[in-house]
């Protein structure tokens, strides 16, 4: 029913309009700003990497403004503004916006979200309590209109997501297609290679059912692989079924090790590669392996970091195809 869009320079008039409503000025202890003042404020902060602004919309109308900040912090980000237009109040917009903030900040790796609200703002306090925030502090606060009031600092811990590795089957079709459509538009050398769905002989991407047959062949005979060693491709998913990447486990060691992995470009740099590798090492252990070799290119610093974090030890390096590779071993 509601949806979110990032706030652009053309949308500032919506903010000006919502923030000029008397009930909102009163609740926020703020003062009136003209549209040109708002434009100036947003221009000043346009390149501020520490904050993001969103509009909560319904059909073609704008219901609320949500601003998050602290985005450069390591652990905790903040709802620094949430304001709903009068005609949409008490219709679930606030709750929707807060839940969106959870989702957004979670995907960026934050563990905690905070908000500060004045003690007299019953609607806001109720909203945040309902969304799982706890009051952690009561402090003195000077508002924009110059009033000295008391304000609550409220915090909510974002539950860590549960990730797992799963063998692709029919249930993953939609998630796979969505992920590949996006990934193929960004990179053409998708890793691990077995994720690719392009058929040279047909000159196009194959249907998902055909791609599943390829996976089955890789797992059982490995006859289509240059190594000839059967290997299993796993999707790296969370509890909603979204695919964050994939990892191949060779049943036997090869010239380029036991494992090949990749995280989708839009979730890189958030520690997911380390989690995926840890899960894969557990599977290797269950398969009876006592050690696992991984052979990244020496230039692939992020892959090497995930291996070191999982206990990998550098054993060897070699030059091949104009590139240096390193061989790491993880004892299980
Ligand atoms: C506070 C605010 C963001 C809530 O948004 P909203 O869309 O009206 O809230 P929702 O419809 O999602 O309501 C969620 C919960 O909030 C609480 N709530 C909302 N309006 C309330 C009110 N007028 N009185 C008491 N509790 C209220 C209730 O617990 C409600 O749950 P319920 O419907 O089961 O009773 C909105 O009222 C607003 O914009 N206020 C002015 C600006 C402001 O104070 N922002 C907060 C700054 S920290």
Per-residue confidence (pLDDT) for residue 226, from 0 to 100: 84
Residue 99 near ligand 1, beta carbon < 6 Å: no
> Which of 15, 85, 87, 90 to mutate to test ligand 1, by most ligand atoms within 8 A of the CB atom?
90
Per-residue confidence (pLDDT) for residue 174, from 0 to 100: 96
Distance from residue 270's CA to the centre of ligand 1 (Å): 33
pTM: 0.63
Please write the tens of the pLDDT for every residue from 130-165.
999 999 999 998 888 888 899 999 999 998 778 999
Residue 172 is encoded by which pair of tokens? Answer: 């993953």
Which residue owns the Cα nearest ligand 1 atom 33?
90
Residue 117 near ligand 1, beta carbon < 6 Å: yes
Per-residue confidence (pLDDT) for residue 247, from 0 to 100: 98
Per-residue confidence (pLDDT) for residue 140, from 0 to 100: 93
Please write the tens of the pLDDT for every residue from 268-283.
887 899 999 999 999 9
Tell me if 276 sits within 8 A of 245, measured CB to CB. Answer: yes
Question: Which domains does the chain possess?
Answer: 2-157 (3.40.630.30), 163-331 (3.40.630.30)
Per-residue confidence (pLDDT) for residue 295, from 0 to 100: 96
Which residues touch 95 (CB under 8 Å, ≥6 apart)? 127, 130, 131
Tell me if 142 sits within 8 A of 148, measured CB to CB. Answer: yes
Per-residue confidence (pLDDT) for residue 16, from 0 to 100: 97
In whole angstroms, what is the distance from residue 208 CA to residue 201 CA?
16
Per-residue confidence (pLDDT) for residue 31, from 0 to 100: 93
Count Cβ atoms below 10 Å from residue 263 Cβ, excluding itself. Answer: 24
Which residue owns the Cα nearest ligand 1 atom 17?
127
Distance from residue 6's CA to the centre of ligand 1 (Å): 22
In whole angstroms, what is the distance from residue 299 CA to residue 326 CA?
9
Virtual CA dihedral for 214, 215, 220, 226, nearest 10 degrees?
70
In whole angstroms, what is the distance from residue 27 CA to residue 23 CA?
6
Residues of the chain with pLDDT under 50: none
> Which of 126, 130, 135 to mutate to test ligand 1, by most ligand atoms within 8 A of the CB atom?
126
């Amino acid at each position: 029913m509601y949806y979110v869009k990032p706030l652009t320079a053309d949308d500032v008039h919506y903010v000006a309009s919502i923030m000029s409503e008397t009930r909102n000025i009163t609740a926020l202890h703020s003062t009136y700003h003209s549209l040109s003042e708002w434009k100036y404020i947003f221009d000043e902060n346009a390149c501020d990497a520490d904050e993001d602004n969103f509009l909560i919309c319904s059909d073609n109308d704008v219901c609320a403004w949500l601003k998050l900040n602290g985005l450069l912090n390591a652990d905790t980000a903040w709802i620094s503004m949430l304001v709903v237009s009068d005609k949409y109040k008490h219709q679930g917009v606030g709750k929707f916006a807060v839940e969106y903030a959870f989702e957004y900040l979670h995907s960026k790796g934050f563990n905690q979200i905070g908000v500060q609200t004045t003690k007299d703002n019953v609607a806001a306090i109720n909203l945040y309590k309902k969304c799982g925030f706890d009051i952690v502090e009561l402090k003195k606060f000077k508002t924009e209109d110059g009033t000295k009031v008391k304000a609550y600092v409220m915090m909510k811990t974002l539950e860590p997501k549960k990730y797992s590795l799963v063998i692709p089957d029919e249930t993953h079709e939609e998630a796979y297609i969505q992920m590949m459509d996006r990934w193929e538009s960004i990179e053409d050398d998708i890793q691990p290679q077995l994720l690719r769905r392009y058929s040279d002989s047909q000159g196009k991407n194959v249907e998902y059912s055909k791609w599943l047959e390829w996976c089955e062949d890789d797992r059982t005979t490995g006859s289509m692989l240059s190594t000839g060693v059967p290997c299993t491709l796993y999707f790296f998913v969370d509890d909603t079924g979204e695919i964050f990447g994939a990892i191949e486990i060779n049943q036997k060691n090869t010239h380029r090790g036991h494992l090949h992995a990749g995280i989708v470009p839009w979730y890189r740099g958030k520690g997911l590669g380390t989690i995926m590798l840890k899960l894969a090492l557990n599977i290797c252990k269950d398969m009876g392996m006592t050690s696992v070799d991984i052979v990244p290119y020496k230039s692939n610093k992020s892959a090497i970091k995930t291996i070191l974090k999982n206990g990998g030890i550098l054993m060897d390096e070699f030059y091949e195809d104009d590139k240096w590779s390193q061989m790491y071993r993880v004892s299980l």
